[in-house]
Amino acid sequence: MQIHLVTHPAPAEWGENNLVSHSTHGLQIHLPDGSALMTLQQAARRIAGLGIKAVQLMGHWSMPQQWAFAQGYMPTAGAETVTLRWADAPEVELLELEQRLYCATWVRRLTNLSPQELGPLDLALESVTFLSELAPTQISHRILKGDALLEAGWVGLHAVGRASRREPVLLELDFNPTRDRRAPVAACLVGKGITFDSGGYSLKSSEGMLTMKSDMGGAALLAGALGFAIQQGLNQRVKLFLCCAENLVNDNAFKLGDILHYKNGVSVEVVNTDAEGRLVLADGLLAAAETGAPLIIDAATLTGAAYMALGGHYHGLFALDNALQSRFMLHAEQQAEDFWPLPLARWHRQQCPSHYADTTNSRPMKGGGPGGASNAAGFLSRFVPREGEGWLHLDLAAAFSDNGSSLWAAGATAAGMTTIARCLLAETAR
């Protein structure tokens, strides 16, 4: 089916402000204002809903317009495949579109896998395979799992994952294009990789648990962003830390009231086993800090509070480094991806007090209480170097669409991938 962009409204018989109409040449998408990327993505979603499995974009499309159409047109990963042929464009643009689509499709496929298909070790190995195929001579990795985590001092990841027969895993993947083991690490990416989250003893409801295969969305998104950055010419050393575990319940599960002692001396009282993401990210952030990298970005489907604040349309952005936050928001604007800065100050780390430890992992109330997303970011700020300089925390409220929407097929979105990659390229080149 040929798809044409036109700037005039649809004929009156198609209804007022209709986005899509038929013509003798195929389908027309009506964009009277000439831009409206979100509107274009909605139109693509409608075309996908018609059951059309192969399309050819015709005429003049900008690269952002082609990408917006692709995001709306692509089906739920694992569903019937579709064919999308790009409109004529310079070769460099077509290559980038293919690279974006390749990495975003990988992110969506991995995030949509069922819990029995993707355990913690599977997530780590899938990420290694994906990135090694893109840079086979520049990737090395190390995996720690099970009790080896405890011996190495990674107490949060071990505690969260020890109830599962599938052991928790810390992946340290090293992209080193210099091939010099003494080369400085320019950036670290730290991803939450909870392949299934029951909530632990703070057990979720059935409806709350149904989509928790997607709780590894941060790990997948960062691996995809690193892959896209590599394809776009990343030439600095970057390490990827994925904190992979299943949060389940048995007689060995971590419990409310347990106290974890982290490598940096911070003690944490567990008051909610469903606030497990920040416990595993704390280990990943400490591992990243040990590299001395001047840039650390973590990403996680971390809090329901961010989703409630942003409605599943934006990712939450937190930083103590205002200049870095501003640069990241500029990248997001240039990539037409939706992030929104939410409050974070140094006093937020004091918002989860404990009688028995330096802090708790949440507040003992529904959703972590008022300011829950900021309090979670404040907790994480205890585990980053340089008082937060060079650190960004992404709370991925728009990573997954439970039932599909006017913009996305049901499942993972991969939204934010290109912004993270652009930030990585720009910041490591500074």
* CB-neighbour burial class of residue 227 (10 A; exposed 0-12, middle 13-18, buried 19+): buried
For residue 402, give the amino acid letter.
D
3-state secondary structure of 132: helix
Residue pointed to by tokens 């070790």: 121
Residues 383, 387, 393, CA angle at the centre, nearest 5°?
A: 60
Pairing of strands 359-360, 339-341: unpaired
Residue 110 and residue 23 share a domain: no
Rounded distance, CA 309 to CA 425, Å? 30
The pTM for the full model equals 0.97
> Given pLDDT bands bounded at 50, 70 and 90, which one contains residue 34?
low
Tell me which of 89, 122, 145 is where a domain ends: 89
User: Does residue 94 belong to any structural domain of this protein?
Assistant: no
Of 297, 296, 295, 259, which Cα lies nearest the Cα of 279? 259
Residue 270 and residue 226 share a domain: yes
Q: What's residue 74's pLDDT?
A: 94
Q: Is 182 a residue of the active site?
A: no
When the pLDDT of each residue in the chain is averaged and rounded to a whole number, the result is 96
Q: Is 109 a residue of the active site?
A: no
> Given pLDDT bands bounded at 50, 70 and 90, which one contains residue 362?
very high
Residue pointed to by tokens 């975003």: 104
Q: Among the listed ranges 3-7, 92-96, 124-128, 184-188, which one has the minimum average pLDDT value?
A: 3-7
User: Does residue 154 belong to any structural domain of this protein?
Assistant: yes
Residue 265 and residue 338 share a domain: yes
Residue 116 and residue 254 share a domain: yes
User: Which residues form the domain of 403?
Assistant: 106-428
Residue 257 and residue 123 share a domain: yes
Is residue 374 a contact partner of residue 343, using CB atoms and an 8 Å limit?
yes
Residue 113 and residue 31 share a domain: no
Residue 400 and residue 269 share a domain: yes
Rounded distance, CA 316 to CA 373, Å? 9
Q: What's residue 145's pLDDT?
A: 98
Quick one: average pLDDT of 172-200?
97
User: Rounded to 5 degrees, what are φ and ψ at 168?
Assistant: -70, 155
Is residue 273 a contact partner of residue 267, using CB atoms and an 8 Å limit?
no
Pick the catalytic residue: 239, 278, 349, 422?
278
Which tens digits make up the pLDDT trace of 43-81? 999 999 999 999 999 999 999 999 999 999 999 866 678
Rounded distance, CA 87 to CA 191, Å? 35
User: Does residue 321 belong to any structural domain of this protein?
Assistant: yes
Residue 69 and residue 118 share a domain: no
Quick one: average pLDDT of 79-93?
92
Is residue 216 a contact partner of residue 123, using CB atoms and an 8 Å limit?
yes
Which tens digits make up the pLDDT trace of 363-415? 998 878 899 999 999 999 999 999 999 999 999 999 999 999 999 999 999 99
Residue 157 and residue 204 share a domain: yes
Pick the catalytic residue: 109, 204, 263, 327?
204
Residue 113 and residue 83 share a domain: no
How many domains in the chain? 2
Q: What's residue 366's pLDDT?
A: 80
Q: What's residue 77's pLDDT?
A: 67
Tell me which of 60, 89, 118 is where a domain ends: 89
Q: Is the pLDDT of residue 17 over 80?
A: no
Residue 53 and residue 174 share a domain: no
Residue 189 and residue 58 share a domain: no
Side-chain-facing half-sphere of 50: CA atoms under 13 Å = 14
**Which CATH number goes with the domain that contains 335?**
3.40.630.10
